[in-house]
Structure 1
Amino acid sequence: MRSYRERVLGERERLQGALADAEGHQHRVLRELLEHNAGTEYGRAHSFGAIRSLADFRKAVPINDYAALAPWIERMAAGESNLLSADDPAVYFTSSGTTGAHKKIPVTEGFMHRAFFPFYFAAWAPLIEHFPDVLDRPDAVLNLKHDPRPAPPTTASGRPHVGASQVDLGTRFGEPLSAEPGTFAPWGTLPVQVDENDHLEKTYLRLRLAVESDVRCVIGINPAMVAALPYQLNLWWPRLVKEIRDGTLGGVPYGSPHPERAATLERLAEHFGTIRPAHVWPHMRALFLWTTGMATLYLPRLSEEFGPGVATLPAPVAASEGPTGVALDRHGSAGSLVVTASAYEFLDAESDIRPDSATLTLHELEPGRDYHVIFSHIGGLYRYAVGDVVRVVDRVGGVPRVAYAGRSTRSDAVGERLRDAQVIRALAVAAQATGLDVRNAACRVADRPEGAAAHYEFAVAARDAWSAQETARFAAELDVAVGREAAGYRTARSAGRLTAATVRRLDGDAFLRDWHASVATGIRPTQVKDRMFRQDHTLWGRLTGTAPVSEEGTA
């Protein structure tokens, strides 16, 4: 533990020190990736050897998305070398992406050691510095994202193709200290057989074991996973208590019966009328997860479920493709740019991303504005538009500190060009204006007769009942707030292309049931995230209970 603590705090100190020469580090990152990969097929095609500056790089290389690089990536996955990177990928991270298609993100040794591990270790610094007791025992942390696969699927070249949380980084990349907190808990590797794709049963089994431990911290990264935990406790409560009493795990004898623990839990449930994480784990200290995006609506209430004074620490602003920002202190939402990891460019979030779009450097960003993230790193992703939008919160040492604002996708039926970050901020404004408690929300362009004006229909989950008058007022406040956030929406409303938004109030557990339904189809929980825009009729019907859904469900 001493070595781990020294590594984590040391990496944070180095990243903090790098902020003093952010421009120098950005030049170094660009120079190294160009030199290292100049002889690759992509490097030769784009004259890496002749590039001397970011300006040269912008002229020589177009802005790419995954589809633009996919032909090279597929050839690499089939076994070809020296295409995007001089290093062969050691593994391919999978990512659901915006469309749900499984990407293959090439991950090289050079990327991991130069870009990934420094930010990865530093990300845990606020947790272990201020809540060191969460590492006192292996079972003090419930890591919801840890899901190892002993026999992972592979590409045609034989490389593992898995989620980032499913890779043994220590073995694969020679970093024995890289195991996340909670990895060695009794539930870290399930002791009973379960179908690899039965993620709900795996979630239950881990929870069954964790209920008998004194958990101090929950790691979820994806906040939807943490939000589901209180719901799961109540959903599975009779089964949990029975198995603890009987000494079984998934119906199989495991350990010793614990009738005293079962009786205590039953008394708590009877006394409070429900069961909350705070009842099961009274010494809970911290939650580690994304604290922005949709979570801004429900996180205050969610943290109450885990106990008074429980801290919410922000997970890094990062994707499978690479890091953007990491919290180096206890700021509740934002992290400093990882200037040593990638060469960063940005584009105003209101702009469309085109191969020749004029980009901004980190010094040109303005606090309070949203930006598309574009990065380049030694692992073979060049001017890569990751699909995330960040909001600049402030600056530390002259370097922007950013918070995740949402995906870059838009809803644009009649020119309104809505981004989910705009809608989330509008929902927060409407909730504050009306005093109503919003737990989660989604929207779509409602069905309409041909020739009729469009309008947005919102599905809003609320903790308590709303009167018809309250719902109408909320809808009116929301409609105005969206217009303030999005000029396109405001213009479409003024021109009559859009009529006023409507609100359908759902019960407080509607989105949690929907989350479970998605996971039940075989999607890993880490990939089932909060989504604002839900135009798919089947998914909307499942969420709102307005249309029949097949037994298999749809993701």
Structure 2
Amino acid sequence: MSLKSILAKPFAKRVYKKTMKWAENPIATQERVFQELISEATSTLFGKDHDFISINSHEDFVKRVPVRDYEGLKPYIETVVAGEENILWKGKPIYFAKTSGTTSGSKYIPITKESMPSHVEAARNAILMYIHETGHSEFVNGKMIFLQGSPILKEQNGIQLGRLSGIVAHYVPKYLQKNRLPSWETNCIEDWETKVDAIVEETLPENMTVISGIPSWVQMYFERIQHKTGKKVGDVFKNFNLFIFGGVNYEPYRAKFENLIGRPVASIELYPASEGFFAYQDKQNEKGMLLLLNSGIFYEFIKADAFFDENPERITIKDVEVGVNYVMIISTNAGLWAYNLGDTVEFISVKPYRVIVSGRIKHFISAFGEHVIGKEVEQAMQEAIENTNISVTEFTVAPQITPNKGLPYHEWFIEFENAPEDLSELADKIDKSLQKQNTYYFDLIQGKVLQPLKITKVKKNGFQDYMKSVGKLGGQNKIPRLSNDRKIVEGFPHSD
């Protein structure tokens, strides 16, 4: 055992104790974060516009600061982008994380000197919590790969601009620099397919122990390794034993991954975004991720089924309930205030506060009042293919409101690795699971408003081809699990 792996264990124990200190005092921790945020931003333009000096409680905050999405905050953000200081947060941001917005075009999410450390420390702490729980630290001696965007940054009015994953690449701790892949040169390749091929060439001779990235893009990397070597990934990288992922639910990919790898590997789920690092999996045998309450982020929650009401109730963690779908609202030390991230979460536990990401408030199907969400379609798919030899590469769901004949229905566009002989049987299983989970959908099927769902096969690599066609191949880009219209699936590459 190397010195590095020996030292990792006491470091992990220290981080565990520090984490438990705030996790066991969650409400007091969030109150402290709230008061610090308000105090620090009182003299900013936003703070003056919203009378921060008179805010002493969450109730005061709710009265003065409405919930906004990016479009709502855009006038302030544009002023920051123009180079003005003390607008949303004191001084200027040190970075803008540039993201692709569906309605706003490019988004410029500020990252400040106060918020940047949490992006780095949360990922580090997730690994250290795993080491503390399992005692496994040998992997720190091997090579680690993080599939991410280019670290090349541009400057705009004195502020560095780039993708979040590219920004974070500049903060890899010195003790991991020698272990980290791909090389800087390879990481700077913009074209995703060229980059993946270069990563394959670089990693094949190495002792890979940790692989990290969004599952759909790691899958592409694994498939290219298998194609080049003719071997399972686990045979190529015999010491690969930890997969770190975020951005999407891993469960729909798990069976495919285990087939590509040839064996199960331990995994850690993260919940990062340009707007903040919100949660990570802190226990291998517990569902959900520990909500990070001590990282300069104050959380509010609105019940998803009431979100579009005229004046929905905004609550804090002390009032959340297990099993309820909430829209998560954040205020941060990067200057986002009562910001609607667009994500929906569900609490699995409140001692400590653990969440799963259940979907996107804009990504749902309610063309007929059913309000089917991402978590429900993923669970339906998972239940339907369990204990079968069916393997799914990717899928998305859209409503078919005006079919050529018969009642409307949900259309599931599925790319199979191993397709079933009878698509109608699979469709029936998925439909029954969806009816069981969603009473509105059940009522619409039983009431003959909708007919049961239909499956449309997508040709091999169809989802990759689609993402490439819209300029979103690779990086942090993800296919929405479901949509309330057919914009994504229009002209989609169906199977022959």
Q: Same fold (TM over 0.5)?
A: yes
Partner Cα distance (1:364, 1:159) in 2: 39
1:448-485 per-position Cα deviation (integer Å, ceiling 9, x unaligned): 358963211112333434223xx222212322322332
How far apart are residue 159 of structure 1 and its match?
Answer: 1.7
Match of 1:190 among 182, 185, 193: 185
Number of aligned positions between the proteins: 487
8 Å contact 1:12–1:121 — kept in the other structure? no
How far apart are residue 487 of structure 1 and its match?
Answer: 3.3
Match of 2:141 among 136, 140, 143: 136
How far apart are residue 495 of structure 1 and its match?
Answer: 4.1
How far apart are residue 223 of structure 1 and its match?
Answer: 1.3
Query: Which ranges in structure 2 are unaligned for 5 or more consecutive residues?
Result: none
| TM-score after normalising by structure 1 | 0.79
| TM-score after normalising by structure 2 | 0.88
Mark the CA change 1:392 to 1:27 in structure 2 (over 3 Å): closer, same or farther: same
Mark the CA change 1:4 to 1:284 in structure 2 (over 3 Å): closer, same or farther: closer
How far apart are residue 118 of structure 1 and its match?
Answer: 4.2
Correspondence for 2:243:
287
8 Å contact 1:143–1:182 — kept in the other structure? no
Mark the CA change 1:465 to 1:65 in structure 2 (over 3 Å): closer, same or farther: closer
1:347-406 per-position Cα deviation (integer Å, ceiling 9, x unaligned): 2232325684202221322223322111112221111111111222223xx332112222
Counterpart residue type for residue 86 of structure 2 = N
| Secondary structure, aligned partner of 2:25 | helix
8 Å contact 1:190–1:206 — kept in the other structure? no
- What are the within-5 Å matches in structure 2 for residues 391-540 of structure 1? 391-395=346-350, 398-409=351-362, 410-432=364-386, 436-446=390-400, 448=402, 453-468=407-422, 471-506=423-458, 510=460, 512-515=461-464, 518-519=467-468, 522-523=471-472, 525-533=474-482, 535-536=485-486, 539-540=489-490
Partner Cα distance (2:226, 2:172) in 1: 37
How far apart are residue 72 of structure 1 and its match?
Answer: 0.4
Counterpart residue type for residue 153 of structure 1 = K
Counterpart residue type for residue 219 of structure 2 = A
Correspondence for 1:121:
124
Correspondence for 2:494:
544
Matched, 1:320 2:274: yes
Mark the CA change 1:394 to 1:98 in structure 2 (over 3 Å): closer, same or farther: farther
Mark the CA change 1:176 to 1:447 in structure 2 (over 3 Å): closer, same or farther: closer
Larger Rg over CA atoms: 1
Counterpart residue type for residue 218 of structure 2 = V
Between 1:53-62 and 1:282-291, the stretch displaced more is 282-291
Counterpart residue type for residue 494 of structure 2 = T
1:54-79 per-position Cα deviation (integer Å, ceiling 9, x unaligned): 11111111111111111100110111
8 Å contact 2:144–2:181 — kept in the other structure? no
Correspondence for 2:163:
163
Partner Cα distance (2:425, 2:15) in 1: 50
Partner Cα distance (2:225, 2:335) in 1: 43
Partner Cα distance (1:393, 1:487) in 2: 21
Mark the CA change 1:302 to 1:215 in structure 2 (over 3 Å): closer, same or farther: same
Q: What is the CA RMSD across the aligned residues, in angstroms?
A: 3.0
How far apart are residue 335 of structure 1 and its match?
Answer: 1.6
Correspondence for 1:339:
293
- What are the within-5 Å matches in structure 2 for residues 206-217 of structure 1? 206-217=199-210
| Secondary structure, aligned partner of 1:167 | helix
Correspondence for 2:225:
233
Counterpart residue type for residue 83 of structure 1 = I
Counterpart residue type for residue 122 of structure 1 = N
Mark the CA change 1:355 to 1:25 in structure 2 (over 3 Å): closer, same or farther: farther
Between 1:404-413 and 1:79-88, the stretch displaced more is 404-413
Mark the CA change 1:527 to 1:104 in structure 2 (over 3 Å): closer, same or farther: same
Correspondence for 1:177:
173
| Secondary structure, aligned partner of 2:185 | coil
| Identity in percent | 20
| Secondary structure, aligned partner of 1:456 | strand
How far apart are residue 211 of structure 1 and its match?
Answer: 0.8
Matched, 1:375 2:380: no
Between 1:46-55 and 1:475-484, the stretch displaced more is 475-484
Partner Cα distance (2:65, 2:261) in 1: 48
Correspondence for 2:233:
277
